[in-house]
Amino acid sequence: MPILTLITFLPIAGALVILCLPKEAEKPIQITALVSAGLSFVLSLCVLYGFDRAQPLMQFMENADWIPSMHVHYALGVDGLSLPLVLLTTFVTVLALISSLGIKERIKEYFFWFLVLEAGMIGVFEALDLVLFYVFWEMTLVPMYFLIGIWGGPKKEFAAIKFFLYTLAGSVFMLLAILAVYFNSTPNTFDMLALMHQHVNWSARFQILVFLGFYFGFAIKIPAFPFHTWLPLAHVEAPTAVSVILAAVLLKMGVYGLMRISYGMLPLGFAWFIKPLIIIATINIVYGALCAMAQTDMKKMVAYSSVNHMGYCLLGIAGLTATGFQGAVMQMITHGIITGSLFLLVGVIYDRAHTRDISAFGGLAVRVPTYAGLMFLACFASLGLPGLAGFISEFFCFLGAFQAWKVYAAVSVLGVLATAAFFLRMMEKVFLGPFNNKWAGLTDMNARELASIVPLTVMTVALGVYPKWALDIMKETLIYMINTPR
Amino acid sequence: MTAIHLIFPEIALCALALALMVADLFVAPKHGRLLYHLAWLASIVTLCLIGLSISDAARYQGLGSLWSVDPMSQFFKMLVLLTTVLSLLMGLEYKDLPPARAGIFVSLLMFASTGMMLLVSSVDLLLTFVSLELISISSFILTGFEKRNPKSSEGAIKYFLFGAFSSAVMAFGISLFYGATGTTKLLGLTQAQTGGPLFILGLLLVLLGFAFKASIAPMHFWVPDAYEGAPTPVTAYLSIAPKIATLAAMLRLFAILLPAKVFDLTTLFVLLSALTMTIGNFTAMFQRNVKRLLAYSSIAQAGYILIGLVSGTVVGMEGVLLYSFIYVAMNIGAFSVAQAVASQSSGADPYGLESFDGLSQRSFGLALAMTFFLLSLAGIPPLAGFMGKFYIFQAAVQSGHIGLAALGLVNSVVSVYYYMAIAYHMFFKPAATEEPLSIGPYLYGGLAVAVAGVIIFGIYPEPLIASVQTSAQYNLP
């Protein structure tokens, strides 16, 4: 059974069904969306069950001719690097869809675009052919444009087109790089696995140029300094569930590409860029945290904290050690889970209070204890409190990078401090202190909100207490990637 | 060498067009629609004749003294006829054409198509000139066909003045060419005949004539006014058929008969291509009228197709064919939606972007179809336009024109801005009226074909690429 194809295209099937339903049929549309995304999630759990953790190479591979005259294949597969990300995508999408049940306007279009988006994201992590990878990569743009532009906040139109153009500008250079590797491989191929062995024939100059082409595409998605300027705007304007997807999955596409393609295919280019990369990582960490500290809007604060957290990923990668790589992948997963729940939580308060201004609240913990508890937990996880998921991944990232980059790692620790500072300040201002009577009518979370957030909280604790379970999935692949003679 | 049987399809189409013109005298105005039906059926008959010539190449293909009938020319003839059929279907749903002149309208469209069919086969500058004139004169009249609309007349006049000027320039170029080589034949030119100043000047002037018809910068100024004024089915037709036919003729002349190793014009074409796509895209950004926007977009598209010509390789040639095919589907689709929307708009300018406000609320299917066409024009996967661009840029990278490919890619990013401006109005703006938008059966049929083409060849382009690869063959003396 082509299980990966099913995982990827079940959402598309759901989207097509939704397209055929009349727009008044709101319940059937919601059910279709949840069922198709849910099935996709269940199937990805099946893949996890059948996944051989001792095997570092690609598993569940599927390969078929797609465009033989251009040597393009339809090739899918997962290994320890991509499987966790596929799981993250299907998991978070289901929860985001649950939280989207609160959407009241233009339900048909919303769920249609959401499912198309999911298919694109899953495909990016599974594709083993550069053209297929590019097609999936671009497939995420259009749905995102509509999701931000229709259901977003006050400046949604501008945020949507800025996101679209910014990301597209990056990816066209990626396309050029893809063509360059195609014509410089013998025999000409887009097969990512075959291209991993081609670098021996490529000069350093060529690899550097191609690396830069890919890097533009990836850096904008990550987002790595100085290409991060689209992110706060898009995150703040996007509706809650879309911010969740944006933070939890879309940013990971960039890091994934950096590890899979830039590191795997272009060792000389990567080696040339390692110094700038560690500097960018440090800037992301420190600058991201400082920017977050300056925000008064909770959502914008969480958005900048994403810049900071992606910096840890880059830090782990730049260490070029198995530990660092594990840290980076683990950080992608934990950031997806934790930031996902943070965005959902911010959405909860915004739905009720119609403001996200930190100083507008005060003492809310008395009024909404469940909400406050979940928020505290997510914030503590995000700032890296031991025992919760965020700590493990950040620790691994620092551990992996420390050997090679002592100074940069030390500077980056400042970022951790700043992160703690802004999260604690937010918790204090919003939940503690004297109760602001303006919010006396505030109600605690309802069942839909709990259903979308509690699973993430459970995962946050579970991964914090017993990370070995997740680390084991990726370990062999990442060790193999580091140790392959290059 | 007389080989008149080779152009039998052209003769058939021309004869049918004349017949329809005569029939116009005997058909009452209220039955004018009948002539449209006869016209598109006649085009399909001709299409079948072309199909026959492809299936029995030994008998129906070959080299005459004026024309070369080969897989490549037949491919473009099929595209021209396909466009004719789809434009006629659009015409059936277009309300502003005088019904009393239906026969004239359809026969002019068919004459123009005949001219294009001859043009793509021509291997003699005289025939090239005559067929270009046939196209031009028919197009001038078609543009001004909406007599009560001053914009239509304005567009036709501008088109005519510009066209007459460029025809004269081209005729002068041909005379210089004749002076330099002693012949108007393009077959078998030797290196000794080429290269003199007379020859170069002649060839450049001929190129200017081509550039006018293919709306290549700096000969593109007539395009927005003519496209805006012309009846929408004619605009759709003009934005596709003459452009790809002229590009096919340029391909034959500059890539096959005078390849770079005989006479190198690569640098000039790089400049033309870069200029055309950049001017088209950057001007389109400021348009508030959909027809004008699509007019500038079609200029930019011509620039992309030129990249294939620049590379001069077989892959580049295939790219031109592939892109032309996909261009037919996406452009006719975009104009069909524009026509449908404008026909039920109450605004001051029916083709203004405001007419698209809230289209997704009135007809989600139509809005989605338009989005597909626009994204395809912008080259976003998984739509067919991406495959076309991919192939063309691949050719450019392969032949070492990486800078041009990069410029093309940057241009596609720019183009997203204005294509998405239409999507912005369709999806983000509230509708002025909730009334659902109805479209006629023929427009619906044409749209269905276009949507299917844009999606199917985007997801599974292999059959199209395979046929393009077999079609990129030509006769050499």
Domain boundaries, chain A: 3-483
Spatial distance between the Cα atoms of A267 and A273, rounded to a whole number of angstroms: 10
B100 and B171 inside one domain = yes
CA distance readout (Å), A207 to A185, A199, A268 = 12, 8, 6
Question: Quick count: other Cβ atoms within 10 Å of Cβ A50?
Answer: 10
CA angle, residues A438, A304, A364, in degrees to nearest 5:
20
Interface of B with A (CB under 8 A): 360-361, 364, 368, 371, 375, 380-382, 386-387, 390-391, 393-394, 397-398, 402, 405-406, 409-410, 412-413, 416-417, 420, 423-424, 427-428, 460-462, 465-466, 469
Is residue A112 within 8 Å of A18, Cβ to Cβ? yes
Please, which pLDDT band fits residue A486 given cuts at 50, 70 and 90?
low
Helix (H, G, I), strand (E, B) or coil at A383: coil
Pair of tokens at residue A360? 């507008």
Pair of tokens at residue B360? 């997704």
- Subunit contact B409:A134, Cβ cutoff 8 A: no
Tell me the average pLDDT of chain A: 90
Q: Position of tokens 């069942």? A: A447
B244 and B270 inside one domain = no
Handedness of CA B100, B106, B107, B109 (dihedral sign): positive
pLDDT for A485:
63
Of B368, B380, B397, which is closest to A183 when you measure between CB atoms? B397
Please determine, for residue B32, whether its predicted confidence score (pLDDT) is greater than 80: yes
Helix (H, G, I), strand (E, B) or coil at B299: helix
Spatial distance between the Cα atoms of A305 and A384, rounded to a whole number of angstroms: 12
Give the HSE-up count for residue A171: Cα atoms under 13 Å, Cβ half-sphere. Answer: 27
Give pLDDT tens digits for A410-443.
888 888 889 999 999 998 888 888 888 888 888 8
Question: pTM to 2 decimals?
Answer: 0.93
- Average pLDDT on B316-345 reads 92
Give pLDDT tens digits for A157-186.
899 999 999 999 988 899 999 999 998 888
* Total residues found in chain A within this entry: 486
For residue A172, the chain B residues in CB contact (below 8 A) are 409-410, 412-413
The answer, yes or no, to whether the previous bond of B150 is cis (omega within 30 of 0) is: no
Spatial distance between the Cα atoms of B152 and B229, rounded to a whole number of angstroms: 4
Give pLDDT tens digits for A289-316.
999 999 888 899 999 999 999 999 999 9
Select from A136, A131, A54, A47 the least CA-distant residue to A91: A47
B245 and B326 inside one domain = no
Residue where a domain stops, chosen among B259, B284, B319: B259
Question: Strands, E, within A47-114: which ranges?
Answer: 59-67, 72-78
B437 and B455 inside one domain = yes
A73 touches chain B (CB under 8 A): no
Please, which pLDDT band fits residue B477 given cuts at 50, 70 and 90?
low
- Average pLDDT on A149-159 reads 88
DSSP 8-state secondary structure symbol assigned to residue B429? S
Spatial distance between the Cα atoms of B48 and B44, rounded to a whole number of angstroms: 6
Q: Supply the ipTM of this predicted assembly.
A: 0.91
Residue where a domain stops, chosen among B259, B287, B304: B259
B277 and B217 inside one domain = no
- Average pLDDT on A196-204 reads 86
Spatial distance between the Cα atoms of A481 and B259, rounded to a whole number of angstroms: 48
- Subunit contact A109:B416, Cβ cutoff 8 A: no
Which residues span the domain enclosing B470? 265-477
B311 and B374 inside one domain = yes
CA angle, residues A306, A401, A130, in degrees to nearest 5:
65
B241 and B385 inside one domain = no
Of A67, A134, A179, which is closest to B465 when you measure between CB atoms? A67
For residue A143, the chain B residues in CB contact (below 8 A) are none
- Average pLDDT on B18-32 reads 87
In Å, how far is B461's CA from the nearest CA of chain A?
7
Helix (H, G, I), strand (E, B) or coil at A290: helix
Pairing of strands B62-63, B68-69: antiparallel
pLDDT for B141:
93
Pair of tokens at residue A48? 């996890």
Please name the residues in contact with B414: beta carbons below 8 A apart, sequence gap of 6 or more.
Answer: B281, B282, B285
Pair of tokens at residue B79? 């595209």
- Subunit contact B462:A156, Cβ cutoff 8 A: no
B101 and B154 inside one domain = yes
Of A65, A68, A109, which is closest to B364 when you measure between CB atoms? A109
pLDDT for A255:
93
Is residue B226 within 8 Å of B197, Cβ to Cβ? no
> Which backbone phi and psi does B185 adopt, to 5 degrees?
-70, 145
- Subunit contact A176:B405, Cβ cutoff 8 A: yes
Please determine, for residue B1, whether its predicted confidence score (pLDDT) is greater than 60: no
B250 and B274 inside one domain = no
B215 and B327 inside one domain = no
Give pLDDT tens digits for B72-101.
999 999 999 999 999 999 998 888 887 778
- Burial code (b: 16+ CB inside 10 Å, e: under 16) for B36-45 equals bebbbebbee
Amino acid at A38: G
B245 and B325 inside one domain = no
Spatial distance between the Cα atoms of B395 and B387, rounded to a whole number of angstroms: 12
Domains: count for chain B: 2
Of B398, B409, B423, which is closest to A172 when you measure between CB atoms? B409
Is residue A472 within 8 Å of A82, Cβ to Cβ? no
Say what percent of chain B tops pLDDT 70: 99
Of A138, A145, A146, which is closest to B381 when you measure between CB atoms? A138
Pair of tokens at residue A30? 């919601």
Spatial distance between the Cα atoms of A433 and A429, rounded to a whole number of angstroms: 7
Instruction: For an interface test with B, give the residue of A20, A67, A157, A212 to mutate (most B CBs within 10 A).
Output: A67
Pair of tokens at residue B277? 């796509």
Per DSSP, helices labelled H in A222-321 are: 230-237, 240-245, 251-257, 264-265, 267-293, 298-318
B272 and B308 inside one domain = yes
